[in-house]
Chain A
Amino acid sequence: MRLAQRSRILPRVPLAPMGDIAFLLIIFFMVTSVFIREAHLEVTLPEAAEIERLRDAHVSVTMDRDGKLWLQGEPCGVQELLLRLDTELGTRVDKTVMLKIDKDVHQASFAPLLRILSETGARIAWLGQDRRY
Chain B
Amino acid sequence: MAKKKKGRKKRGIPEIPVNSFADIAFLLIIFFLVATTMDRMTGNVSELPKGETNEKQQDKTPTVQLHHDKITFQDAELTVSELRDKLAELKLDEREGDAKVVAFEATGDVKYQDYFDTMCTISAAGGVIAIVKEDKKSGK
Contact = CB atoms under 8 A, between A and B. Distances in A.
Contact of A114 (B26, B40, B111, B131): B131
A101 B112 contact: yes
6 contacts: A46-B116, A54-B45, A105-B111, A111-B133, A122-B48, A130-B42
Nearest to A63: B112
Contacts, number: 154
B112 A118 contact: no
B121 interface: yes
B99 interface: no
B45 A52 contact: yes
Interface string B11-43: 000000011011001101100110111001111
A130 B43 CA distance: 8
A35 B36 contact: yes
A103 B111 contact: yes
Interface in B109-129: 109-113, 115-117, 119-121, 123-124
A128 B48 CA distance: 17
Nearest to B46: A124
A29 B50 CA distance: 40
